[in-house]
Structure 1
Amino acid sequence: TNINIKDFCLDGNRIWVLGSESNNEVSYNLYAFDLNNRKYFHKISGENGLTEEPSQIFLDHEYNLWVISNNGVFLLKGNAFTAFSVADGLVGNKVWGLNKSNDGILWVGTIGEGMSVIKNGKTYNYTKANGLPDNYVGKIYQTKQGDVLIGTSNAGLSKVSYGQNLSKIRFERLPFLDGIRFRIDDVLEDKNGTLWVASSKGLYYSKDMLKYIHKPLSSSDTGDIFIQKLLLDSIKNELWIATRFNGVYVLDDSTVRRFTPIDSTEEISSLVMDYQRNVWIGTRNKGVFRWDYSAIRQFSEKDGLVSNLTYILYPDSRNNLWIGSNLGLDRIDLEALSRNEKNYIRHYGSDEGLVDLETNLNGVISDEFGFLLSTNGGLLKYEQDADKLNSVPPKVRITGLKLRSQETNWSQYSSDVDAWNGLPNKLKLKYDQNHLTFEFVGVSFRNPRMVQYSWKLDGFDDKWITGKSRQAIYSNLPPGKYIFRLKAANSDLFWSDEVKSMPFVILPPFWATWWFRIVSVLLIAFAIYMYVLTRIRGLKEKQKELESLVSIRTAELREQFRIVDEKNKQILDSLKYAKFLQSAILRSVDDIKGNFADAFVFYKPKDFVSGDFYWFSRYNNISVFAVADCTGHGVPGAIISVICESSLRQAVLGCMYENPAKILEYTNKYVIDTFSQTNKDIHDGMEIALCTFNHQTNELTYCGAKLGVYLFANNNFIKLKPSIQRIGWDRSTIKFENQTLVLETGSMIYMFTDGFGDQFDYKSKEKFSSVRLRKLLEANANFSAEEQHNILEKEFNCWKGDNEQIDDILVLGIKF
C-alpha cells in the first residue's frame, strides 16, 4: 500500500505515520510499522478508534502517542491491545471459542450471536439462519487429521466441511448423544489419536469420531458431572480433567483418581501447564492454584489478583501466566515469582487498552505477535512487543499547602512566596499553627490513576509513607524544624529520582523556650530547698521522740523474743524426741538385708516425724514385712502411725505370722476399737501393703489395703492389686483376700506409698505419678539395692528441685 506521509514519530523500532493511502483519499489515518519485522502492519482509522481526523502527532516524555485534531487533543493508550468488533465485520461482540486452523483461517465463536470465519482480511459470518447448528460456539478444535470441530452449547459437536469458498461452509453434527441438549466446553486429541470431549453430560472419548463412549470419573458418575476443561500431559501420559462443580480428576492410562489437593466441591474453570511443567488451576471463587508436584499454592485477591473469578489461563512464550477474569487481565511474571519478588503481578484494565474488562471462558489462542483473547466487547489482539514497561517516572510537584485545611496567605509567615505555585519560602509558624495539609501531583499520562506517592516529614516520620492519595495531612505537630520530602512512581513502579522538599519551622511557645525553662528550674529548686530545710527541722524533733519510744519498745520486744525462743526450743525438743520414738519402732535396713538377698529403704519424711512407716519381723522361717501410709503427715500422722503399728504388731502375733488377709482384718478391728473410745466419728487409719515370705518354700503371700506391690521376676514387672478398702476407715466387717506366689531366686518386690508419685516437678508443676515411678523401678531393677536407692534419691531431688516436699516418701525394695 502506498501511503502519503504527513507526519511521523519514531518509537524505538516502531514508526508511527500520519498519512493517507492514496492521493484521492482526503482523510488521514494512523499507521504503525516495525523496522525489524516487515510483516507487522497496524492501521487505526475512524472505524477502529479515531474519533476525529488527525492533523499532527507527537510522542511525549513517556513515549505516549498524542494526536492533534481541529477539535482537540487525544491520547492513544494501550498500544499493545487492539479490539475487533461488529464494526470490523464480526458477527457479534461476545466472543467465546477461538481457533486458528493450519490453513491460516481464524475461527471466532460467540455467545448466542453465531460464528465468524476470517481469512486474508475477509470475514464470513454464520448463524443458525445460514446453517450453523447453534449460535453458542464455545469450542473450536482442529484434529491431527485436519478436521475442524465445532462445540456448541445446545447442539453438541459438529464437523466443518469447506473448500476455497468460505461462504459455503457445511456443518455435519456428529453422532454424539443424539436428541439430548448438552454443552461442549473442550475437545482435545491424545497421542494415540483418541478424541476426548468435555461436556455438561460427562467425559466422553472416541477413536473414530463415530462412536462416543462415556468415561466415568467415579463409581457414582452416571453422566451428570459437568466437565469444564481438559489438559493433556504428554510426557507423563496423563489427562487432567477440570469439572464445573466437582474439583479436579487425573486419568492415568485407564485409571481415574481424584486430585485431592483441590477440594471435591471446588468450581473449576480452567487448566494449563506452564513451561516449568507446573499445573495451574483456575476457579470461579478462589482465584488460581499452582501445583508443582510437591505442594499446592493459592493466588487470590489477597495476593494482588484483581478478581477471584477466573475465566482464562494462558502461559505465553516469555514465561508469563495470563489470567483473564470478569475485571480484566492479570499477568504473573513466573521468573519474578520464582525469585520471590514482591511485584510479580501486573494488572491490565481499561487504562491499558482493554475495551471490555470481562473475558470469556477459555477463549484464548496464540498469535504470531502475542495472543488473541475473547471478551464481551469483541476479539482482543495482544502484541507482546508493544507492551513495554514505562521506565519514565512521573514529574512530581508540590502544588499547595493548607493551614487547618484552609487556603492561607503565606506571605505573613514567610520571607517570600513562589509566584508560580504559591508555596512559601523559609516558612515559620506559631506553636498552635501545627495542622498542615500538603497537596501534590505526579504527572504520568500512561496510567495516571495508578500513580503512587511516597512522602516523609523529616523530624516527625520514621519511615516513608506510600499511597495513592494526593494529600499528606499532619496534625498536632510539635515545635521543631521539619522538611517535607516527596517522590512518585508510575504504574510500573518506576520511582522518580528527584525528591521535592519543603522546609519549615514551628516555633515553640514562650513557656517552652530555653530561658523560661532555666528560670522555672531555679525557682522550683529554691522552693524545694526551703521546703526541705523546714522539713528537716521538724524531723529532728520527731527523731528525739521516736528514739525514746524505740528504746522502750526494744526492751519489750527482747523479752517477747526470749519467751518465743524458749517455747520454740521446747517444741523442737519434743519433735526430736517424737522422731526418736518413731524411729524406735522401725527396724533398720540391715535387719531386713540380713534376712534377704538384698534390700533398700528410701524413707524421707516431710516433717520431723512421718505418717508413713515400714514394718518387718521374722519368726522361724516366716518373715512379715509391710509398707503403710497413715492419714496425714507430721505430728498427727506420726501419732496415727503409732496406733496403726501397734495394731499391726498385735495382729501379726495373734495370727502367728501367717495369713496376711487375717492379719489385716484383725488390724482393722484393733484400729477401729482404739478410735471408738471417743464419741466422735473419726475416719483415720492407713493404707497398707503386707507380705509374708516362707524362706523354706519361697512362697510369698500378699494382701493389701489400697496399696499394691510390684514384683520383678524373670525380667517381667507385674503388679499385685490390693483391696479397695482402707484400715480403720469403716466400722463394718471387712474381708481381705490373699495372693500367693512362689518366687525364684533373684526376684525383687517393691512396695511404696503415694508420696513419691504425688511430688510436683519444679518446672512444669506436673506430678511424678506412680506410672513414671514404676517405669523408673523397672528400668533399674537389675542394679543392686544400694544403687537403686541412690537412683531414687537423685531422681526425686532433681524432680523436686526448689519445690516444697508435699508428702512423706517411702519406697521399700527387697530382693529374694
Structure 2
Amino acid sequence: MKYIHLYALFLMSIFHTSCGHNQTNVPKVNIKPETKDTVTSYGPNTMVRNIKKGRNGTILIAASFGGVFRYDGKSFTNLTSKVGSRRFWDVLEDRRGNLWFASTDSGVYYYNGKSFKHFTTREGLASNQAFQIYEDKTGNIWFGTGGGASRYDGKFFRNFTTKDGLPNNDITTIMEDKTGKFWFGTSGEACFYDGKTFTVFKNKDGKAFNKVRGLIEDRKGNIWFGGSIIEDKKGDTLFVSDGLWRYDGSTFTKVTHRGASAIIEDKKGNIWTTGAVKPNGDWALSRYDQKSLYNKKPTLTEIKSKYEGGKGMLCGILEANDGSILYGSFFGVYRYDGKTITDFKSKEGQK
C-alpha cells in the first residue's frame, strides 16, 4: 500500500545536535537535595513519554514537563522535584536499584536514593538531548541521544556516531537481542550492531526501514518494530509505507499498516502497540492476539483512547503486575484493565 505522507511523523519538532566519538572519564557531579519529594494521590496530567517497571511492583513514569514519578499503587512520588523543571523523556531503574532519568534539554540524571549526579556532554555524553535509557546484559547503561548512542560502564562513556557506522545520529530506541546483537532505531534508517559493524536492515526489495521507535524481541526470538519504508519521492513529497513489522531472522513480514510507536509483549504472548490507526489519523491502543500472530490477518482488538475520541499521540506502554495495561498520552497516564479505561488525574486535571 502506498500513500503520501509527510516525512515528520511526530507532532513536536525536535532539534538535534551531534557529537563525535569519545571516551571520557566521568567526574562526580553531585546535586544536593534541598527539597523533599512531592507525593500526591494523582498522576501527571502532562505528556507521558515512557512507563517502566521499578522494583517491588512499582511503576516509573516519565512526564515531559511534570517530572519522573514512582507509583506504588496508592500514591505518586515525584522523584525529580530536586532537579527542577526539565523535559524528561525516559526513566530506568537498573539492576542495582539506581535510577536514571533522560531529559531532552539537560542530559541525564543518576539518583542512588540519596544524591544525584548529572551527566552532560561535559562529562562525555554524546548529546544533552537524551531520549532513551537501556541496560544491557552486562550492566552497561546505554543512552539514545540526538548526537549518537552513548554506552556508560560506570566509569567511562563510549559514544557511537555516524563516524563509527551508525546511519543516523538521532537515536530513538535501543535493544539487545538474545544473541547479544544491538538494534538501533533512528530518525533515519534503523540498524543493528554485532560488536564490530553497523548494518542497516532492509526488506527483500533492499529498502531500508526508517523512523523506527517501537522495538522489542518476543519470547520466541522474533524482532517486532514499527517503522516506515520510503517507496518513492517526488520533490518534497514522500510516498511512505508505514506499519508494524516482524523479523524472524531471515524474513521481514508486515503484520499491519497501523503505526507502532511503542510495542510490548504481555505475559500471555499478545502484542500491544500504540500508534496511528492510519496516516495522520486517530491513535489507539491495539492488541494482537497471540493465537493468531502468524496468520495473514492477526486478530486485532482496538482500544480507543479515552480522551477526544482517540485523537492525539499515545506513547509508552507497560503491563503491570496485575495484568492491566498502562499507556502514556498527551494528557497523562491511562490504565486499561481488559474492560474499562481509567486515568489517574485529579478532578481539575480531568477538565
Taking structure 2 as the reference length, what is the TM-score of the superposition? 0.60
Aligned to 2:181: 278
State the percentage of identical aligned residues: 24
**1:373 aligns to 2:235 (yes or no):** no
Give the whole-Å Cα distance in 2 for the aligned partners of 1:150 and 1:267: 23
2:95 is matched by which residue type in structure 1?
A: K
Aligned to 2:253: 346
* CA displacement at 1:264 relative to structure 2: 9.5
Structure 2 vs 1, CA of residues 305 and 228 (structure 1 numbering), >3 Å: closer, same or farther?
Answer: farther
- Higher relative contact order (Cα pairs below 8 Å, separated by 6+ residues): 2
* CA displacement at 1:230 relative to structure 2: 1.8
Give the whole-Å Cα distance in 1 for the aligned partners of 2:215 and 2:264: 8
1:337-388: CA deviation from partner (whole Å, max 9, x where unpaired) = xxxxxxx1111224xxxxxx2222x453534122221123321112232123
Match of 1:205 among 96, 103, 110: 110
1:384 is matched by which residue type in structure 2?
A: Q
Name the one with the larger strand percent.
2
Give the whole-Å Cα distance in 2 for the aligned partners of 1:135 and 1:220: 30
1:99-122: CA deviation from partner (whole Å, max 9, x where unpaired) = xxxxxxxxxxxxxxxxxxxxxxxx
Aligned to 1:571: none
1:239-261: CA deviation from partner (whole Å, max 9, x where unpaired) = 22111x20111111211111253
Task: List aligned pairs for 1:246-645, cutoff 5 A.
Answer: 246-260=147-161, 261-263=164-166, 266-286=169-189, 288-300=190-202, 307-325=209-227, 327-334=242-249, 336=250, 344-350=251-257, 357-360=258-261, 362-376=262-276, 377-389=283-295
SS of the aligned residue for 1:385 comes to helix
Aligned to 1:231: 134
Structure 2 vs 1, CA of residues 225 and 301 (structure 1 numbering), >3 Å: closer, same or farther?
Answer: farther
Work out whether residues 323 and 329 of structure 1, in 8 Å CA contact, stay in contact via their aligned partners in 2. Answer: yes
Structure 2 vs 1, CA of residues 365 and 154 (structure 1 numbering), >3 Å: closer, same or farther?
Answer: farther
* CA displacement at 1:198 relative to structure 2: 1.6
Give the whole-Å Cα distance in 2 for the aligned partners of 1:219 and 1:249: 12
1:737-784: CA deviation from partner (whole Å, max 9, x where unpaired) = xxxxxxxxxxxxxxxxxxxxxxxxxxxxxxxxxxxxxxxxxxxxxxxx
1:417-469: CA deviation from partner (whole Å, max 9, x where unpaired) = xxxxxxxxxxxxxxxxxxxxxxxxxxxxx69xxxxxxxxxxxxxxxxxxxxxx
**1:171 aligns to 2:76 (yes or no):** yes
Give the whole-Å Cα distance in 1 for the aligned partners of 2:42 and 2:53: 20
Give the whole-Å Cα distance in 2 for the aligned partners of 1:253 and 1:292: 22
Work out whether residues 181 and 193 of structure 2, in 8 Å CA contact, stay in contact via their aligned partners in 1. Answer: yes
Name the one with the larger helix percent.
1
Give the whole-Å Cα distance in 1 for the aligned partners of 2:99 and 2:285: 28
Work out whether residues 134 and 153 of structure 1, in 8 Å CA contact, stay in contact via their aligned partners in 2. Answer: no
2:154 is matched by which residue type in structure 1?
A: D
Work out whether residues 212 and 227 of structure 2, in 8 Å CA contact, stay in contact via their aligned partners in 1. Answer: yes
Match of 1:148 among 51, 54, 59: 59
Structure 2 vs 1, CA of residues 296 and 379 (structure 1 numbering), >3 Å: closer, same or farther?
Answer: same
Give the whole-Å Cα distance in 1 for the aligned partners of 2:210 and 2:193: 18
Give the whole-Å Cα distance in 1 for the aligned partners of 2:143 and 2:89: 12
Work out whether residues 306 and 328 of structure 1, in 8 Å CA contact, stay in contact via their aligned partners in 2. Answer: no
**1:215 aligns to 2:122 (yes or no):** no
Give the whole-Å Cα distance in 2 for the aligned partners of 1:239 and 1:346: 31
Work out whether residues 191 and 234 of structure 1, in 8 Å CA contact, stay in contact via their aligned partners in 2. Answer: no
Work out whether residues 279 and 292 of structure 1, in 8 Å CA contact, stay in contact via their aligned partners in 2. Answer: yes
* CA displacement at 1:160 relative to structure 2: 2.0
Structure 2 vs 1, CA of residues 281 and 269 (structure 1 numbering), >3 Å: closer, same or farther?
Answer: same
Aligned to 1:47: none
Aligned to 1:187: 91
* CA displacement at 1:149 relative to structure 2: 2.0
Give the whole-Å Cα distance in 2 for the aligned partners of 1:249 and 1:160: 28
2:293 is matched by which residue type in structure 1?
A: D
Work out whether residues 246 and 264 of structure 1, in 8 Å CA contact, stay in contact via their aligned partners in 2. Answer: no
Aligned to 1:120: none
Give the whole-Å Cα distance in 2 for the aligned partners of 1:263 and 1:218: 22
Match of 1:132 among 31, 43, 59: 43
Structure 2 vs 1, CA of residues 257 and 302 (structure 1 numbering), >3 Å: closer, same or farther?
Answer: same
Aligned to 1:745: none
Give the whole-Å Cα distance in 1 for the aligned partners of 2:64 and 2:265: 20
2:99 is matched by which residue type in structure 1?
A: L
Structure 2 vs 1, CA of residues 192 and 303 (structure 1 numbering), >3 Å: closer, same or farther?
Answer: farther
* CA displacement at 1:176 relative to structure 2: 4.1
Structure 2 vs 1, CA of residues 239 and 257 (structure 1 numbering), >3 Å: closer, same or farther?
Answer: same
1:256-312: CA deviation from partner (whole Å, max 9, x where unpaired) = 1112534596111111111111100111111x2111113221114685568411111
2:287 is matched by which residue type in structure 1?
A: K
Task: List aligned pairs for 1:67-106, cutoff 5 A.
Answer: none
2:148 is matched by which residue type in structure 1?
A: G
Give the whole-Å Cα distance in 2 for the aligned partners of 1:224 and 1:241: 10
Work out whether residues 52 and 60 of structure 2, in 8 Å CA contact, stay in contact via their aligned partners in 1. Answer: yes
**Unaligned stretches of 5+ residues in structure 2:** 1-9, 11-40, 229-241, 277-282, 299-351
**Unaligned stretches of 5+ residues in structure 1:** 1-93, 95-129, 164-169, 337-343, 351-356, 391-445, 448-816
Work out whether residues 301 and 308 of structure 1, in 8 Å CA contact, stay in contact via their aligned partners in 2. Answer: no
Give the whole-Å Cα distance in 2 for the aligned partners of 1:349 and 1:277: 28
2:136 is matched by which residue type in structure 1?
A: D
Work out whether residues 310 and 325 of structure 1, in 8 Å CA contact, stay in contact via their aligned partners in 2. Answer: yes
Give the whole-Å Cα distance in 2 for the aligned partners of 1:227 and 1:262: 20
* CA displacement at 1:215 relative to structure 2: 2.1
* CA displacement at 1:192 relative to structure 2: 2.0
Give the whole-Å Cα distance in 2 for the aligned partners of 1:219 and 1:253: 12
Structure 2 vs 1, CA of residues 302 and 193 (structure 1 numbering), >3 Å: closer, same or farther?
Answer: same
Work out whether residues 248 and 264 of structure 1, in 8 Å CA contact, stay in contact via their aligned partners in 2. Answer: no
Give the whole-Å Cα distance in 1 for the aligned partners of 2:170 and 2:122: 18
* CA displacement at 1:133 relative to structure 2: 2.3
Work out whether residues 140 and 151 of structure 1, in 8 Å CA contact, stay in contact via their aligned partners in 2. Answer: yes
SS of the aligned residue for 1:388 comes to coil
Structure 2 vs 1, CA of residues 385 and 183 (structure 1 numbering), >3 Å: closer, same or farther?
Answer: same
Matched length = 237
Give the whole-Å Cα distance in 2 for the aligned partners of 1:303 and 1:215: 42
What is the RMSD of the two structures over their aligned residues, measured on CA atoms?
Answer: 3.0
1:527-552: CA deviation from partner (whole Å, max 9, x where unpaired) = xxxxxxxxxxxxxxxxxxxxxxxxxx
Work out whether residues 144 and 171 of structure 2, in 8 Å CA contact, stay in contact via their aligned partners in 1. Answer: yes
1:606-635: CA deviation from partner (whole Å, max 9, x where unpaired) = xxxxxxxxxxxxxxxxxxxxxxxxxxxxxx
Taking structure 1 as the reference length, what is the TM-score of the superposition? 0.27
SS of the aligned residue for 1:310 comes to coil
* CA displacement at 1:142 relative to structure 2: 2.6
Work out whether residues 204 and 252 of structure 2, in 8 Å CA contact, stay in contact via their aligned partners in 1. Answer: no
Structure 2 vs 1, CA of residues 297 and 224 (structure 1 numbering), >3 Å: closer, same or farther?
Answer: closer
